[in-house]
Structure 1
Amino acid sequence: MKNEQNDGIAIVLANRYYLYGLLQHIFGNEPSPPLLEVVTSDHTRQSLQLWLNEEECELSDYLSLLSEVRVGLANDRDKLLEELNSEYTYLFIGPNALPAPPWESVYLNEERTIFQESTLRVRRAYLEYQFLPSNYPHEADDHLAMELDFMVHLSKLAQGLFEDQNYKAVKTILINQKKFLDEHLLVWIKSFTKEIQNSKTHFFYPQMATLTEKILFKDNDTLQEILGVM
């Protein structure tokens, strides 16, 4: 591949790794000052601007939200953390029924139960890379944060192998990432986003779910483009 093309792909691979890590932390960890510092950082803003088309994705809305969170951190950190923790608990922990369960299997069977055949398919995808999710075994394998964590893992592998100029191995990983998107994340992320938007809370996580959906679909298109030139 040409050097200019290599440089472009390297930037994309690095940005994919960063964004997947960001999303994994947002949905896999309760709000904390260190997490919010990363979420509202200039690096995050730049990554989103690089990844998303402002006109198509209403990028300014997300950047405004990040600015609002940053101001909240500066003005009254305790109040902001209390609000975000309350929202996170309501949406993802309970004790009441979750308005938008963060497990793939819930959206693929009429009983809306977890630990279904789809869960096992996710686990088999993990095992191909000897991947053990950070929250295992406290959550089912198909929790959104775990599936994002898997994409983080593969994105890091792809980035390292690309730096080593092992393009054949990179291509295999990217093919498998696209397959995981097509067969798992993209199958249910729209339903999850719709349900979280219908919840009674609308401050942070519903918008992050919408942002995640847009990033995932953009990544699917990006992978198709990269694979087309490798």
Structure 2
Amino acid sequence: MSIVTQIDYLRYSDMLAFIGNSLLKPMTQTQSVGLDPLFWKSLPDFGEDGIGEAISLCESTVERIGKERGKGAVEAVSVEYTRLFVGPPSPAAPPWETMYRGSTNVGFGEATFEMRNYLHDLGLELSNENRQYEDHMGIELLYLSELCRRVGEGDGYEEQARSFVVKHPLSWIDAFLDRIEGISPQGYFSCLVRLEKALLLAC
């Protein structure tokens, strides 16, 4: 990884896992820590300006959401999640890589099989209540998080992690972000995915 001497891989892994989990379930089904500005203040920027700017954007966004929505902030972010990633009638920002490869509108394709093999090769088994395809952005981030955790524990995987980032999440994150910002340009998930992009670029 390009900033191997600067990144604390375990904290980097934790940040990827947080974003991945945030993309897999609405906030009503997970912790609401992402709406606490102090949470964002506590995150490291690893000496990367892009990461620091994205964290600051997340902090200011949740402060605004809190002021505008008050006690209804969790529900508002969950409604945004549903509109973007679930529908009805269909997701405004499909969270599966296959949907951004060519002109297909099917959520199961080559990227799904590739991710299934990656998970298997790492000894991971997908278990999720929503029965998501393996090429879901959240699952790709959880896979990368595990690679980085193993890097942090001295088990290698640096080259595998770098190659995966380029071939998978980084290859479609711009199109994914465009879809999100077309619907909710100043929303919670816009800033969250902007942070994801900054983290991937630093990998």
TM-score, normalisation: structure 1: 0.75
Query: Aligned to 1:177, which of 151, 158, 161?
Result: 161
Q: Which of 132, 150, 156 pairs up with 1:157?
A: 150
Summarize the Cα distance change of 1:66–1:54 in structure 2 as closer, same or farther, 3 Å threshold: farther
**Structure with larger Rg:** 1
The secondary structure found in structure 2 opposite 1:111 is coil
Task: Provide the residue aligned with 2:20 in structure 1.
Answer: 24
Alpha-carbon deviation of 1:96?
A: 1.4
The offset of 1:128, in angstroms, is: 1.1
Is contact 1:91–1:98 with CA below 8 Å preserved after alignment?
A: yes
Amino acid at match of 1:174: E
What per-residue deviation string (whole Å, max 9, x for no partner) do you get for residues 11-61 of structure 1?
A: 621221121121112111211496222563645423243354169846532
CA drift of 1:148 comes to 0.9
Distance 1:53 1:208, change over 3 A: same
2:48–2:202 Cα contact (<8 Å) kept: yes
What percentage of aligned pairs have identical amino acids? 19
Deviation by residue 1:124-150 (Cα, 9 ceiling, x = unmatched): 111110112342770111001111111
The 3 A distance-change label for structure 1 pair 176 and 138 is same
User: Which structure is higher in helix share?
Assistant: 1
When the two structures are aligned, how many residues end up with a matched partner? 200
Deviation at 1:120? 0.9
2:137 equivalent among 136, 140, 144: 144
TM-score (norm 2): 0.84
Aligned CA distance change for structure 1 residues 67 and 49 (closer, same or farther; 3 Å): farther
- Residue 61 of structure 1 aligns with an amino acid whose one-letter code is L
Deviations 1:134-168 (A, max 9, x none): 427701110011111111222222223x3xxxxxx
Unaligned 5+ runs, structure 1: 1-5, 163-168, 220-230
* Coordinate RMSD, CA, aligned: 2.8
- The residue number in structure 1 matching 2:104 is 111
Task: Report which structure shows greater RCO (CA 8 Å, sep ≥6).
Answer: 2
Indicate conservation of the 8 Å contact 1:22/1:39, yes or no.
no
Mapped partners of 2:107, 2:30: distance in 1: 31
Correspondent of 2:10 among 9, 14, 23:
14
- Could you tell me which residue of structure 2 aligns to residue 191 of structure 1? 175
